Protein backbone atom coordinates (compact mmCIF):
# COMPACT_ATOMS: atom_id res chain seq x y z
CA UNK A 1 0.00 0.00 0.00
CA UNK A 2 2.76 2.42 0.95
CA UNK A 3 6.28 2.46 2.34
CA UNK A 4 5.03 4.32 5.40
CA UNK A 5 4.92 2.51 8.74
CA UNK A 6 1.23 2.13 9.57
CA UNK A 7 0.44 0.85 13.06
CA UNK A 8 -2.77 0.29 15.03
CA UNK A 9 -2.59 1.65 18.59
CA UNK A 10 -5.21 0.18 20.94
CA UNK A 11 -5.43 1.91 24.30
CA UNK A 12 -6.52 -0.46 27.06
CA UNK A 13 -6.35 -0.65 30.85
CA UNK A 14 -7.98 -2.57 33.68
CA UNK A 15 -8.91 0.48 35.77
CA UNK A 16 -12.13 1.57 34.10
CA UNK A 17 -14.26 3.57 36.54
CA UNK A 18 -17.62 2.25 35.42
CA UNK A 19 -16.66 -1.35 34.58
CA UNK A 20 -13.24 -2.38 35.92
CA UNK A 21 -11.51 -5.11 33.93
CA UNK A 22 -13.85 -4.68 30.98
CA UNK A 23 -11.12 -5.17 28.35
CA UNK A 24 -10.56 -8.78 29.44
CA UNK A 25 -14.19 -9.78 30.03
CA UNK A 26 -15.07 -12.92 28.08
CA UNK A 27 -16.98 -13.01 24.81
CA UNK A 28 -17.27 -16.24 22.88
CA UNK A 29 -14.02 -18.17 23.38
CA UNK A 30 -11.81 -15.13 23.97
CA UNK A 31 -11.65 -11.74 25.66
CA UNK A 32 -13.12 -8.44 24.48
CA UNK A 33 -9.59 -7.38 23.49
CA UNK A 34 -8.91 -10.79 21.97
CA UNK A 35 -11.96 -10.65 19.69
CA UNK A 36 -11.02 -7.15 18.62
CA UNK A 37 -7.45 -8.18 17.73
CA UNK A 38 -8.53 -11.35 15.93
CA UNK A 39 -10.74 -9.21 13.71
CA UNK A 40 -8.07 -6.54 13.17
CA UNK A 41 -5.51 -9.11 12.03
CA UNK A 42 -7.54 -9.38 8.81
CA UNK A 43 -6.63 -5.80 7.93
CA UNK A 44 -3.97 -5.64 5.20
CA UNK A 45 -1.17 -3.07 4.96
CA UNK A 46 -0.66 -2.77 8.72
CA UNK A 47 2.82 -3.21 10.17
CA UNK A 48 1.97 -3.66 13.85
CA UNK A 49 -0.94 -3.91 16.23
CA UNK A 50 0.17 -2.37 19.52
CA UNK A 51 -1.69 -2.48 22.85
CA UNK A 52 -0.89 0.65 24.86
CA UNK A 53 -1.51 0.25 28.57
CA UNK A 54 -0.30 1.88 31.77
CA UNK A 55 2.70 1.20 34.00
CA UNK A 56 0.40 0.24 36.88
CA UNK A 57 0.77 -3.25 38.29
CA UNK A 58 -2.92 -3.94 37.70
CA UNK A 59 -2.21 -3.73 33.95
CA UNK A 60 0.41 -6.49 33.97
CA UNK A 61 -2.43 -8.73 32.86
CA UNK A 62 -3.01 -6.51 29.79
CA UNK A 63 0.65 -7.01 28.85
CA UNK A 64 0.25 -10.78 29.24
CA UNK A 65 -2.87 -10.76 27.08
CA UNK A 66 -1.04 -8.84 24.34
CA UNK A 67 1.76 -11.41 24.41
CA UNK A 68 -0.76 -14.25 24.24
CA UNK A 69 -2.44 -12.58 21.26
CA UNK A 70 0.97 -12.17 19.57
CA UNK A 71 0.86 -8.38 19.26
CA UNK A 72 3.16 -5.67 20.54
CA UNK A 73 2.57 -3.82 23.79
CA UNK A 74 3.74 -0.52 25.21
CA UNK A 75 3.41 0.75 28.78
CA UNK A 76 3.33 4.41 29.69
CA UNK A 77 1.61 7.16 31.63
CA UNK A 78 -1.83 6.41 33.07
CA UNK A 79 -3.24 9.94 32.98
CA UNK A 80 -1.21 11.51 30.16
CA UNK A 81 -2.42 9.57 27.15
CA UNK A 82 -0.85 11.99 24.67
CA UNK A 83 2.53 11.22 26.23
CA UNK A 84 1.83 7.47 26.19
CA UNK A 85 1.06 7.58 22.47
CA UNK A 86 3.97 9.90 21.71
CA UNK A 87 6.53 7.75 23.53
CA UNK A 88 5.25 4.63 21.78
CA UNK A 89 5.49 6.37 18.42
CA UNK A 90 9.08 7.41 19.10
CA UNK A 91 10.03 3.88 20.13
CA UNK A 92 8.62 1.99 17.16
CA UNK A 93 8.81 4.78 14.53
CA UNK A 94 5.20 4.91 13.38
CA UNK A 95 4.32 7.21 10.47
CA UNK A 96 0.54 6.77 10.45
CA UNK A 97 -1.33 5.90 13.66
CA UNK A 98 -4.74 4.23 13.67
CA UNK A 99 -6.11 4.94 17.14
CA UNK A 100 -8.67 2.56 18.64
CA UNK A 101 -9.90 1.83 22.15
CA UNK A 102 -9.92 -1.64 23.67
CA UNK A 103 -13.64 -1.65 24.44
CA UNK A 104 -14.81 -1.96 20.81
CA UNK A 105 -14.78 -5.72 20.03
CA UNK A 106 -17.04 -5.35 16.97
CA UNK A 107 -14.74 -2.88 15.17
CA UNK A 108 -14.87 -3.60 11.43
CA UNK A 109 -11.46 -3.79 9.71
CA UNK A 110 -13.14 -2.93 6.41
CA UNK A 111 -14.34 0.40 7.80
CA UNK A 112 -10.74 1.07 8.83
CA UNK A 113 -9.48 -0.03 5.41
CA UNK A 114 -11.87 2.34 3.61
CA UNK A 115 -10.77 5.24 5.81
CA UNK A 116 -7.09 4.37 5.45
CA UNK A 117 -7.32 4.22 1.65
CA UNK A 118 -8.75 7.75 1.59
CA UNK A 119 -6.17 8.95 4.09
CA UNK A 120 -3.24 7.61 2.08
CA UNK A 121 -4.61 8.77 -1.28
CA UNK A 122 -4.90 12.29 0.16
CA UNK A 123 -1.77 11.94 2.24
CA UNK A 124 -0.52 15.51 1.68
CA UNK A 125 -3.88 17.07 2.48
CA UNK A 126 -5.00 15.20 5.62
CA UNK A 127 -3.39 15.09 9.07
CA UNK A 128 -6.30 13.71 11.03
CA UNK A 129 -9.34 11.66 10.03
CA UNK A 130 -12.21 10.49 12.21
CA UNK A 131 -15.58 8.78 11.89
CA UNK A 132 -16.83 9.61 15.37
CA UNK A 133 -16.92 13.39 15.85
CA UNK A 134 -20.08 14.10 13.83
CA UNK A 135 -21.22 10.56 14.49
CA UNK A 136 -23.13 8.51 11.90
CA UNK A 137 -21.70 5.06 12.73
CA UNK A 138 -22.80 3.05 15.75
CA UNK A 139 -20.71 3.59 18.87
CA UNK A 140 -18.05 0.94 18.92
CA UNK A 141 -16.87 1.63 15.36
CA UNK A 142 -14.76 4.60 16.45
CA UNK A 143 -11.63 5.09 14.31
CA UNK A 144 -9.15 7.95 14.27
CA UNK A 145 -6.22 8.06 11.85
CA UNK A 146 -3.42 10.57 12.26
CA UNK A 147 0.06 11.41 11.08
CA UNK A 148 2.76 11.03 13.72
CA UNK A 149 3.59 14.70 13.15
CA UNK A 150 0.21 15.75 14.56
CA UNK A 151 0.96 13.73 17.69
CA UNK A 152 4.32 15.50 18.02
CA UNK A 153 2.52 18.80 17.59
CA UNK A 154 -0.09 18.28 20.28
CA UNK A 155 2.45 16.74 22.65
CA UNK A 156 4.38 20.01 22.50
CA UNK A 157 1.49 22.48 22.45
CA UNK A 158 -1.31 20.90 24.50
CA UNK A 159 -0.93 21.87 28.16
CA UNK A 160 -4.42 21.35 29.63
CA UNK A 161 -4.44 18.16 31.78
CA UNK A 162 -7.99 17.27 30.74
CA UNK A 163 -6.87 17.37 27.10
CA UNK A 164 -3.73 15.36 27.74
CA UNK A 165 -5.75 12.65 29.47
CA UNK A 166 -7.22 11.84 26.05
CA UNK A 167 -5.63 12.01 22.61
CA UNK A 168 -8.26 13.69 20.46
CA UNK A 169 -10.29 16.38 22.31
CA UNK A 170 -7.67 19.06 21.67
CA UNK A 171 -7.74 18.25 17.95
CA UNK A 172 -11.54 18.15 17.73
CA UNK A 173 -11.83 21.46 19.57
CA UNK A 174 -9.22 23.13 17.36
CA UNK A 175 -10.07 21.80 13.90
CA UNK A 176 -8.97 24.99 12.19
CA UNK A 177 -5.37 24.29 13.22
CA UNK A 178 -5.23 20.93 11.44
CA UNK A 179 -5.94 19.29 8.09
CA UNK A 180 -9.03 17.55 9.41
CA UNK A 181 -11.48 15.21 7.68
CA UNK A 182 -14.66 13.59 8.92
CA UNK A 183 -15.60 10.20 7.40
CA UNK A 184 -19.39 9.68 7.25
CA UNK A 185 -21.23 6.38 7.19
CA UNK A 186 -21.15 5.45 3.47
CA UNK A 187 -24.62 3.90 3.73
CA UNK A 188 -26.07 7.35 4.32
CA UNK A 189 -27.73 6.09 7.51
CA UNK A 190 -27.41 7.56 10.95
CA UNK A 191 -26.63 4.57 13.19
CA UNK A 192 -25.47 6.67 16.13
CA UNK A 193 -28.38 5.50 18.32
CA UNK A 194 -26.81 2.04 18.54
CA UNK A 195 -24.38 1.59 21.41
CA UNK A 196 -22.07 -1.33 20.58
CA UNK A 197 -19.18 -0.50 22.86
CA UNK A 198 -18.40 -1.62 26.41
CA UNK A 199 -18.64 0.67 29.41
CA UNK A 200 -21.33 -0.87 31.62
CA UNK A 201 -22.76 -4.28 32.48
CA UNK A 202 -25.76 -3.46 30.28
CA UNK A 203 -23.34 -2.93 27.39
CA UNK A 204 -21.73 -6.30 28.10
CA UNK A 205 -25.08 -8.10 28.11
CA UNK A 206 -25.98 -6.41 24.84
CA UNK A 207 -22.68 -7.25 23.11
CA UNK A 208 -22.78 -10.91 24.19
CA UNK A 209 -26.41 -11.32 23.08
CA UNK A 210 -25.67 -9.82 19.66
CA UNK A 211 -22.50 -11.90 19.27
CA UNK A 212 -24.47 -15.09 19.88
CA UNK A 213 -26.76 -14.19 16.96
CA UNK A 214 -23.93 -13.71 14.45
CA UNK A 215 -22.74 -16.56 12.23
CA UNK A 216 -19.03 -16.18 13.03
CA UNK A 217 -16.57 -13.73 14.58
CA UNK A 218 -15.63 -12.11 11.26
CA UNK A 219 -18.94 -10.37 10.49
CA UNK A 220 -18.81 -6.95 8.86
CA UNK A 221 -20.53 -3.75 9.90
CA UNK A 222 -23.57 -4.21 7.66
CA UNK A 223 -24.15 -7.74 9.00
CA UNK A 224 -23.88 -6.36 12.54
CA UNK A 225 -26.45 -3.62 11.94
CA UNK A 226 -28.79 -6.10 10.23
CA UNK A 227 -28.77 -8.35 13.32
CA UNK A 228 -29.37 -5.38 15.61
CA UNK A 229 -32.32 -4.17 13.53
CA UNK A 230 -33.88 -7.62 13.24
CA UNK A 231 -33.50 -8.31 16.98
CA UNK A 232 -34.26 -5.07 18.87
CA UNK A 233 -34.88 -7.08 22.06
CA UNK A 234 -31.11 -7.70 22.26
CA UNK A 235 -30.46 -4.04 23.00
CA UNK A 236 -30.27 -3.76 26.79
CA UNK A 237 -28.28 -0.50 26.96
CA UNK A 238 -30.38 2.08 25.13
CA UNK A 239 -30.75 4.12 28.32
CA UNK A 240 -26.98 4.31 28.99
CA UNK A 241 -25.54 7.78 28.59
CA UNK A 242 -22.16 7.79 26.89
CA UNK A 243 -19.41 9.03 29.14
CA UNK A 244 -17.90 12.29 27.90
CA UNK A 245 -14.16 12.98 27.80
CA UNK A 246 -14.44 15.33 30.77
CA UNK A 247 -16.54 13.27 33.21
Residue 247's pLDDT is: 43
Look at residues 169, 144, 147, 148 and name the one whose alpha carbon lies nearest to residue 158: 169
Q: Does domain 6-234 have CATH number 3.90.550.10?
A: yes
212: Cβ contacts below 8 Å, ≥ 6 apart: none
Task: Dump pLDDT digits (tens) for 44-60.
Answer: 999 999 999 999 999 99
Residues 156 and 82: their CA atoms lie apart, in Å, by 10
Sign (positive or negative) of CA dihedral 225, 226, 232, 234: negative
Mean pLDDT, 10 residues at a time, over the chain (247 residues)?
88 92 97 98 96 98 98 96 96 98 97 97 94 96 96 90 88 93 97 95 96 96 97 85 54
Q: Are 79 and 13 a contacting pair, CB within 8 Å?
A: no
Task: Dump pLDDT digits (tens) for 110-164.
Answer: 999 999 999 999 988 999 999 999 999 999 999 999 999 999 999 999 988 888 9
Burial 85-117 (b: 16+ CB within 10 A, else e): bbbbbeeeebbbbbbbbbbbbbbbbebbbebbe
The dihedral region occupied by 205, where left means phi > 0, alpha psi between -120 and 50, and beta the remainder, is alpha
Residues 203 and 141: their CA atoms lie apart, in Å, by 14
Amino acid sequence: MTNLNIDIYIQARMGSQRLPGKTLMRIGDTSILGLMIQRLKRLKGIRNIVVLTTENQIDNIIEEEAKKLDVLFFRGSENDLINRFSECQKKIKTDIIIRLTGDCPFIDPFVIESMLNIFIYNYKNIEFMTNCDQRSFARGQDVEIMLSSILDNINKTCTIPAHREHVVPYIEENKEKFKYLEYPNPSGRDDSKYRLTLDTIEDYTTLCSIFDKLDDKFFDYEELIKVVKLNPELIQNSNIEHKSYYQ
